[in-house]
Homo-oligomer: A and B are copies of this chain.
Amino acid sequence: MFSFESDYTEGAHPLILKRLAETNLEQLSGYGSDTYCESAKAKIKSACECPDADIFFLTGGTQTNAIVIDALLNSYEGVISAKSGHINVHEAGAIEHTGHKVLELPSHDGKISAYELSDYLKNFYEDENHSHMVFPGMVYISHPTEYGTLYTKEELTAISEVCHIYKIPLYLDGARLGYGLMSSSTDVTLPLLAKLCDAFYIGGTKVGALCGEAVVFPHKAPTHFMTIVKQHGALLAKGRLLGIQFDTLFTDNLYFTISRHAIKMAELLKEGFQKRGYTFYLDSPTNQQFIVLENREMERLKEKVAFSFWEKVDETHTVVRFATSWATTEENVQKLMDLLEELSE
């Protein structure tokens, strides 16, 4: 059966496997001190137009969120997130496991609003009992969000300004950042993120790597961040595995080229659903498309193609997700369209 279940159903972009094989027998030092990690960092700094950035490679998204957030917060602080934020719902409490509360703001199709953020912070400090409460110590956003939506440059700038006023860091979860940056309708770029955020990560796992996320601290990493990474059990002995992958992804724009491909496939898929009158849960400009299906229809479709359960709408309808990726073939999109055609007959 073919699948649009997620953007991590295939292995890695073939060029990554090629580079891993080519460099396989080179003897390299461990724990991220090798030349490929250095080279990858240089290329990412350049892509971010941020020569002073500190960069670290980690293996997965939840791991990255938990470590960065724990490292940026004081013990008495929590992290502000949309109610729907990945850290608040689907990370098995990894943030709380490090001792910090997730402080919820309303989710607007996965996004928070600068206005509500500002209001939350203002109310917090005006509350006479706030010293008995969890201090808001940083802001977490994801881009694309859990629902594939994107912040505009204006929205990000506004959120960043609120963070500045309250002197709390802004952290952006870029698990699918490539797909966000290559969307047809975005004015957000890597250099902009490096300007507006205090930390963010460039997702590899969902954008062509076997595993790996590149954490960027545009200004300065927390002191002894490598030891913090080790303490959280996240320091790979063979750091080359991450270095070589990101070095490859940031050579000849590969990261962007393959992300753009996924977007094109998503646009085809979206068009196909639209043409056939399907209801979208919301309008997503990236590689994840959320469709509302009548339950029996969902069951029939499930027999022929894999996709993801997202959430129940009501007793008879369900939101499901179709995700494209760097590996999605036009052929499979066409196969899905044929299937829809067939079912509608």
Contacts and interface: CB of A to CB of B under 8 A. Distances in A.
A131 B60 CA distance: 17
A90 interface: yes
Nearest to A63: B233
A233 B134 contact: no
Contacts of A134: 92-93, 96
B240 A11 contact: yes
A12 B30 contact: no
A237 B61 contact: yes
Nearest to A206: B237
B6 A24 contact: no
A327 interface: yes
Contacts of A26: 10-11
Contacts of A8: 30, 237-238
Interface in A234-277: 234-238, 240-241
A337 interface: no
Contacts of A226: 131
- Chain copies in complex: 4
A236 B135 contact: no
Interface stretch (A47-55, A69-77, A288-296): A69-77
Interface residues of A, number: 85
Contact of A9 (B3, B27, B60, B206): B27
Contact of A227 (B64, B70, B92, B235): B92
Given A17-B21, A91-B132, A211-B238, A233 B67 contact: yes
B24 A9 contact: no
Nearest to A241: B210
A344 interface: no
A324 interface: no
A236 B60 contact: yes
Q: Which of A63, A92, A131, A231 has the most CB of B within 10 A?
A: A92
5 contacts: A5-B29, A10-B25, A12-B20, A60-B237, A135-B227
10 tightest A-B contacts by CB? Answer: A63-B233, A11-B24, A92-B230, A93-B134, A92-B231, A9-B27, A96-B101, A8-B237, A3-B27, A76-B227
